[in-house]
Structure 1
Amino acid sequence: MPTGGDLVIETLSVLGATTVFGIPGQHVLGLFDALGRSPLRLVSSRVENNAAFAADGFARVTDQPGVLIVSTGPGALTALAGLQEAYASSIPMIVIASQIPEAGLGGRRKGMLHELDDQKAAARNVTKTQHTIHHVSSIPAVLEDAWRTALTAPQGPVWVEIPQDVLLAPAPVPSPGELNVTIPQLTPHSSSVARAAEILHAARRPAIVAGGGVRRSGVAAQQALSRLAQLLDAPTACTPGGNSAFPDDHPLSLGGWVEDRYLTEVLEDADVLLAVGTSLGEVSSNYYTMQPRGQLIHIDAEPRVLESNYPGLGIRADAGLALEAILAALERSPKPTESTWHGVTSADLVHNVRRQIADRLGQQDLEHEQSIMRSIRNALPDKAHTFWDMTIAGYWAWNTWDAKQGAFHSAQGAGGIGYAFPAALGGAVGLEQRVLAVSGDGSAMYSIAELATARQHDLAVTWLIIDDGGYGILREYMQVAFGATVGTELTRPDFVALVQSFGIPATLAAPDSLADDLQAAWLATGPNVLVLQTTLKMWQPTHQISAPPEQ
């Protein structure tokens, strides 16, 4: 007779899962046994938080929940750092954690290995909902609900834990033949749409900030954003999470320079600022220095972020559905005139701001850094997906990377390091094509064990490790704030030799050969690594803030 573990795998298959990420452990062996008899693909990581990052990367490129299986106690807890990123960035995941046998649940009554007082409570801060399955018959229904919840805006990871004896128990419940999981649409209230359209219709200087919610809402949302920006003649900026939500080469595109005062001042000067699919949090508000003087319209699927930093008209809705509704209302009564920014057209304003940012960079001796970023971009095809760690190159990419027809992925949601390489492994699995990961030497050491995963599964990931001998961004922060550094300098391995010991090709690149080396790596098969020994600097994004122009 099939077991509870078989029923879990069969239900996941019916729901549409094709791939599972995870690591076996004592209490979850019954589930891995069932997995071995199934058509699902297992990508076996070496560390649980990296398995979570891999499932996250898979979900980002497929728009399907990443499925993660971890064992009880230490395995489950180690995954939490990876889940924090998925939760903060609204990435759909199904996390299945085993539990000790039913008889031991309830707080150290049996003294079992891996036992926690309340394992589910540990996951509460980093998952949307948490469930414990006590009976085999509950498995299909709970997993169906979890799948729906993970994909319902705001998306995110869902925690399901199953005791060992339930996984091993006979499953008289038949496998669900089909499951029609309808994802509820988070539509905006019509009254809020009408008010937003009224405000935007009267705007003389509208501007838009697009966040990750626009990307997660799909191609239709991005098309609606472009049409709305064109209709409003509104300069449009993308947050790091919203990178590629609006074409970088569009005449109204301010790019991603949300950390630069020149761009911030445009958003402050707007008489109507439409923020969609973003919390307007620390980074996207330029570290809370942005102080909008006009009317804010704030759209997000997560009600807790609406007006959390700035007052305005808050609209809880899926970004795409809200954009389409507002666009439809405005198209019935288009704006009578083009926007004008104190006598300057929107397109000229955008051109001037981008030139000012370029001029500022040109005055800061940053040609080396810009050259490195150009080399990476020029070496990759337009459709490339890239994954970036919290490293200086990643910070540059937040603001400068033009994803073109590809996609940009980074860990700015929770800000943990070690994300790029394991997430890229999941991305390569989901896309079935080569992807790029970029890390510093510090963040690379968090995920170095996953070289074994890349080799075992022969995954097409090119990993660029920029080795500056420490935590480069923290080095800069400490030097500026305290005049000295502590704990930022690192002893690290010979990365080329270490990578080669896994049977993976590795190249020691130089700045002037980086583009050629990266192009060659991109055309290769299987995993490969480039190590670039160089130090990158950050830019200074501020200038004397002038008095606001007269209205």
Structure 2
Amino acid sequence: MTRIGGDLVVETLRALGADTVFGLPGQHALGLFEALRRAPDVRVVSSRVENNLAFAADGFARARLTASPDGPVPVTPMIVSTGPGALLTLASLQESRAASVPVLGISSQIPVAGLGGGRHGYLHELPDQQASFRDVVKSVHVVRTASQIPTALREAWTTAATAPYGPVWVEIPQDVLLAPVALPPLSAVAASPAPLEPLPELVAEAARLLAGASNPVILAGGGALRSGSRAELIALAEALRAPVVSTFGGKGVFPWDHELSARSWAEDWHTTELLADADVLLVLGSGLGELSSNYREFAPRGRVIQVEADLGKLESNYPALGIHADVRLFLRALEVPVRAADGRAEATVSTLLARVESRLDSQDLAVERRLLADLRAAVPDGAQTFWDMTIAAYWAWSAWPPDGAPIHTAQGAGGLGYGLPGALGAAASGVPTLAVSGDGGAMYGLAELATARQHGLDVTWLVIDDGGYGILREYLTDAFGSTTATELARPDFVALAESFGISAVLSTLDTVGADVAKALRRRGPSVVVLPAVLKMFAPTHLG
């Protein structure tokens, strides 16, 4: 057997730690897929559309990060072909970048002679394919010879696994992938991401401010979750007696029912005021962007300490003591005196949650609240959940108790179509998953029912059918009194799923909990369709 460039790619990925590759073949990528065929210890998970393939790779990485926060960073390879195939991954890679998910995108390229711009007449040719990816991923690497393959992949892997995690992109020309290689087989390629340690003087200043605070509050974001800092965060909150608010991206980093957990009602004015009232607000792994700041309504009245692995996010929205560091390493370096529990923080949290509850009670939201409760009761501990950009997901951002059943959403970049392919990727990692989509978002991923069936993945897909883009219907109606282009023709989802050989059921609001629970107990893919029109809770501001 003659080893080719594709073999060198697969050997390098295996040496770096990959055991699963998400791939969709293309003409220029034949050398990669022949190499995967020759590698029985590397699993290939396919897809039907490249953007869904990238979402699946994202879901696989998130599931492994969640299941093993102390393990190696689960950089997840994804292989696509040149031009149209590559470009279809962009929106998905934007989500991975926004949510700090380590995906290694590998694309074939036209032959080396055609690189460098111009129009050479190759199929799928772009004048500068890598330019499309530069501002989406963390780094772009272009290989021109076989000897460059191991180092380029190692550098890309290292970048993806360095805090803040994120997607990277490697391009390898068709002729390099197909050409025989003289390099010996590789088995000892290792990536060593540098730890992002905080500067000790800044840690000391943060400790001084927190020790002197009379009303400290902690806001824990996605960076805290990605760093695996749950134990350290609990210890700090209990030492400071500080309430902890989780951003939507940080859900799960702090125990939902802990006496200091102010949960994640980021779009509630009472929560916004809790953060603003802190004399020292410690922001861990959040850029205090649009959602975390309640659409810029948040206005801190005390000092802000912001710990963030993404240098560009430091003080990008609010003045702060900015500390560029991995959250977990910062928390391990931070030393604060332990305060005696006097009940004030617990009372603050209790009062806040009671106010949130009262606000919801004042609106006609029994259907939505019951649905979330029924779904959470249906999902067993150990399963993971993936949510599309749909009204139920907007509720879940705030209301879903994540302990035992982690939640993953596309709110980083906010694109439609994430739920099913993300869940398929997680299921490929070995965990049962629930995907939740609206009928609008579901149409983005219908082809992946074939993927679920082909690979026998343990995914239950709940499609909430309200006849259109429900959240956009609400936004347009609230803003203009009418809607445009939100009402959608859609298929019979039950019949469609059954045509793929997948078990499906038409549910009701009264039976959906039991239907989802039953589906999750069944091996392989299942679909539950719920015809229901949901609505959002109304934003409420004090005064």
TM range (shorter): over 0.9
Partner of 1:470: 468
Say which is worse superposed, 445-454 or 104-113, in terms of deviation.
Answer: 104-113
Which residue, 233, 246, 259 being the options, matches 1:225? Answer: 233
Which residue, 508, 511, 514 being the options, matches 1:510? Answer: 508
Offset at residue 404 of structure 1 (A): 1.3
Which residue, 168, 177, 186 being the options, matches 2:196? Answer: 186
Partner of 2:371: 372
Cα distance between partner residues in 2 of 1:29 and 1:138 = 19
Number of aligned positions between the proteins: 533
SS at match of 1:95: strand
Which residue, 44, 61, 65 being the options, matches 1:42? Answer: 44
Question: Which residues in structure 2 correspond to 1:513-524 (within 5 Å)?
Answer: 513-524=511-522
Question: Which residues in structure 2 correspond to 1:21-32 (within 5 Å)?
Answer: 21-32=22-33
Checking the alignment, whether the CA contact within 8 Å between 2:420 and 2:435 is kept in structure 1 is yes
Which residue, 52, 56, 59 being the options, matches 2:58? Answer: 56
Offset at residue 509 of structure 1 (A): 0.5
SS at match of 1:453: helix
Offset at residue 405 of structure 1 (A): 2.3
For 1:53, the aligned partner's letter is F
SS at match of 1:409: strand
Checking the alignment, whether the CA contact within 8 Å between 1:383 and 1:404 is kept in structure 2 is no
Say which is worse superposed, 253-262 or 58-67, in terms of deviation.
Answer: 58-67
For 1:452, the aligned partner's letter is A
For 1:273, the aligned partner's letter is L
Partner of 1:441: 439
Offset at residue 60 of structure 1 (A): 0.7
Residue-by-residue CA offset, 1:277-301 (whole Å, 9 max, x unaligned): 1111110111110001000000010
Offset at residue 103 of structure 1 (A): 1.1
SS at match of 1:497: helix
CA gap of 1:109–1:515, structure 2 versus 1, over 3 A, is closer
Offset at residue 518 of structure 1 (A): 1.0
Offset at residue 24 of structure 1 (A): 0.7
Say which is worse superposed, 385-394 or 173-182, in terms of deviation.
Answer: 173-182
Cα distance between partner residues in 1 of 2:94 and 2:244 = 29
Cα distance between partner residues in 2 of 1:186 and 1:106 = 35
Cα distance between partner residues in 2 of 1:459 and 1:177 = 30
Cα distance between partner residues in 2 of 1:119 and 1:334 = 55
Question: Which residues in structure 2 correspond to 1:141-220 (within 5 Å)?
Answer: 141-218=151-228
Checking the alignment, whether the CA contact within 8 Å between 2:224 and 2:327 is kept in structure 1 is yes
Aligned CA-pair RMSD: 1.1
Question: Which residues in structure 2 correspond to 1:350-361 (within 5 Å)?
Answer: 350-361=349-360
Offset at residue 108 of structure 1 (A): 3.1
Partner of 1:240: 248
Offset at residue 274 of structure 1 (A): 0.5
Partner of 1:549: none
For 1:267, the aligned partner's letter is L
Residue-by-residue CA offset, 1:13-41 (whole Å, 9 max, x unaligned): 11110111121111001111111111211
Residue-by-residue CA offset, 1:241-260 (whole Å, 9 max, x unaligned): 10010001001101110110
Say which is worse superposed, 399-408 or 10-19, in terms of deviation.
Answer: 399-408
Cα distance between partner residues in 2 of 1:279 and 1:406 = 25
Partner of 2:70: none
Question: Structure 2 stretches of 5 or more lacking a match?
Answer: 66-73
Residue-by-residue CA offset, 1:418-437 (whole Å, 9 max, x unaligned): 0010000000011x131100
Determine if the alignment matches structure 1 residue 14 to structure 2 residue 15.
yes
Which residue, 479, 497, 503 being the options, matches 1:481? Answer: 479
Partner of 1:415: 414
Checking the alignment, whether the CA contact within 8 Å between 1:382 and 1:403 is kept in structure 2 is no
For 2:361, the aligned partner's letter is G
SS at match of 1:191: helix
Checking the alignment, whether the CA contact within 8 Å between 2:119 and 2:127 is kept in structure 1 is no
SS at match of 1:103: helix
Determine if the alignment matches structure 1 residue 72 to structure 2 residue 82.
yes
SS at match of 2:306: strand
Residue-by-residue CA offset, 1:454-497 (whole Å, 9 max, x unaligned): 00000000000000000000000000011110011101111111
TM-score by length of 1: 0.95
Partner of 2:317: 309
Cα distance between partner residues in 2 of 1:79 and 1:519 = 33
Offset at residue 49 of structure 1 (A): 0.4
Checking the alignment, whether the CA contact within 8 Å between 2:222 and 2:286 is kept in structure 1 is yes
SS at match of 2:96: helix
Offset at residue 338 of structure 1 (A): 5.4
Which residue, 527, 539, 542 being the options, matches 1:541? Answer: 539
Partner of 1:252: 260
Partner of 2:127: 117
Determine if the alignment matches structure 1 residue 291 to structure 2 residue 299.
yes
For 2:8, the aligned partner's letter is L
Cα distance between partner residues in 2 of 1:284 and 1:110 = 48
Offset at residue 177 of structure 1 (A): 2.3
For 1:309, the aligned partner's letter is N
Residue-by-residue CA offset, 1:153-208 (whole Å, 9 max, x unaligned): 01111100000000001111112221232221001000000000000000000001
Residue-by-residue CA offset, 1:410-454 (whole Å, 9 max, x unaligned): 011100010010000000011x13110000000000011100000
Partner of 2:69: none
Partner of 1:428: 427
Partner of 2:380: 381
Offset at residue 380 of structure 1 (A): 1.2
